Structure 1
Amino acid sequence: MEPVHVAIIYYSSTGTIHTLARAAAEGAEEAGATVRLRKVCETAPVTAISARPEWEQHLTDTADVAEASHDDLEWADAVLFGTPTRFGNPASQLRVFIDTTGPLWFRGKLADKVYSAFTSSNTAHGGQESTLLALANTFCHWGGIIVPPGYTDPVQFQAGNPYGASHVAGDGPPGDVSLRAARHQARRVVGIATRLGAGGAA
């Protein structure tokens, strides 16, 4: 069988979600997948970005990361979305990208794929679960197959979020547990997508 195609599509302002996305890419590749790591377009005004040096620096540091396109979604067998939480919801930058996918949805190009998501918030209980569940609403409309990490690996009992890998950014950059959780989630996504593909082939 051809390797599973995994698109990891994310938005990150200061680097936390980018770090989790890279860990997810590592996990997917370890599981044998072909991976595309893609960021969505930055839509925030320059005045907002320039007010935070770390935001400006992250844009510079990730200038070489390709921007997500509809082709990435069509190509993928599985998609992991990453976003910081904004008032308990996905960041508007990611929503803008998702809201352009109507033509793909209308043609059935988003159905029957595996979907999963990961997030971060500045504080504990800062809207992580509601953000991931909000993305699940979209996956349902697309006819997708939602694959959460659940408690399917010992690291999940340390990470504590069965809906998706998550991190409290106020505690600093993602540490070992958060990165292991992101890798596990991606490996699980690849495993389920592989089994679905094998079943379809049979």
Structure 2
Amino acid sequence: MSESVKTAVIYYSSTGNIHRLAEAAVEGAEKAGSEVRLRRIRENAPQAAIASNEAWAAHAAATADIPVAELDDLDWADVVIFGAPTRYGNIPSQLQQFIDTTNPLWLQGKLADKVYTAFTSTQTAHGGQESTLLSLYTTLYHWGGIVVAPGYTDPIQFQTGNPYGTSHIAVSEPSEVTLDGLRYQARRAVEIAGALKAGRAA
């Protein structure tokens, strides 16, 4: 059922945590049988700011070959998985700038009826994860999207403790439990999109 589902994993990462989570989302979607595009959000921070942070500069260089997200990726996908860190309880400006370019697709109704899900991370627990996702989901509701949260629908969610897909990371690398949670979240989104496509075709 899910082999015809196309998934775009669109993320912004400065130092690499979100990038690793995005890779886990790709793994989960592919395991569910989906064709997947991994796309990074274009960086808009000043080069001086990037260069002043060794981890940020290193990650930017290491991922320069990953294609930048374009509107075509949203148009192409049946499932869109967004990932971004928290910035003061909200999404970073880089992702917001991309979202602000989507009006042409929205006007044509091309963002509606797709399955969307999202994840985030913070340096510490309770660092604004839920408010970040809720602010992003508000946009997806305006698009007419079908927001699919992982909820407590799989045993892995009782281990992560993050029913909305929030991935709060207090260490430099995400844990394997967190990565498994992202793999499950992506798989669930693909499976639901597959069921929706099958129902529409019936």
| TM-score grouping bracket, smaller chain normalisation | over 0.9
Instruction: After TM superposition, give the deviation of residue 165 of structure 1 in Å.
Output: 4.1
**Which residue is equivalent to 1:161?**
162
SS of residue matched to 1:163? coil
**Which residue is equivalent to 1:44?**
45
Instruction: After TM superposition, give the deviation of residue 163 of structure 1 in Å.
Output: 1.1
Q: 1: distance between equivalents of 2:153 and 2:109?
A: 31
1:96-135 equivalent positions in 2, closer than 5 A: 96-135=97-136
Conserved? CA contact 1:7–1:36, under 8 Å: yes
Q: 2: distance between equivalents of 1:92 and 1:156?
A: 29
**Which residue is equivalent to 2:185?**
185
Conserved? CA contact 1:118–1:166, under 8 Å: yes
Instruction: After TM superposition, give the deviation of residue 167 of structure 1 in Å.
Output: 2.9
Instruction: After TM superposition, give the deviation of residue 160 of structure 1 in Å.
Output: 1.1
**Which residue is equivalent to 1:82?**
83
**Which residue is equivalent to 2:171?**
171
Aligned residues: 201
Runs (4+) of structure 1 exceeding 2 A deviation are none
Instruction: After TM superposition, give the deviation of residue 77 of structure 1 in Å.
Output: 0.3
Conserved? CA contact 1:165–1:185, under 8 Å: no
Instruction: After TM superposition, give the deviation of residue 172 of structure 1 in Å.
Output: 2.2
Conserved? CA contact 1:165–1:182, under 8 Å: no
Gaps of 5+ in 1: none
Instruction: After TM superposition, give the deviation of residue 29 of structure 1 in Å.
Output: 0.1
Taking every aligned residue pair, what percent have the same amino acid on both sides? 63
After superposition, give the CA deviation of every residue in 1:162-196 in whole Å (9 maximum; x if it has no partner): 1114131x322011111000000000000000000
After superposition, give the CA deviation of every residue in 1:117-173 in whole Å (9 maximum; x if it has no partner): 0000011100011111111101100000000000011111111111114131x3220
Q: 1: distance between equivalents of 2:143 and 2:136?
A: 11
Gaps of 5+ in 2: none
TM-score normalised by structure 1 residue count: 0.97
Q: 1: distance between equivalents of 2:43 and 2:171?
A: 25
Residues 1:31 and 2:21 aligned together: no
After superposition, give the CA deviation of every residue in 1:4-33 in whole Å (9 maximum; x if it has no partner): 000000000000000000000000000000
TM-score normalised by structure 2 residue count: 0.97
Q: What RMSD over aligned residues (CA atoms) do the two structures have, in Å?
A: 0.9
Q: 1: distance between equivalents of 2:83 and 2:172?
A: 18
Q: 2: distance between equivalents of 1:200 and 1:3?
A: 13
Q: 1: distance between equivalents of 2:7 and 2:54?
A: 32
Which amino acid in 1 is paired with 2:79?
A: A
Which amino acid in 2 is paired with 1:118?
A: F
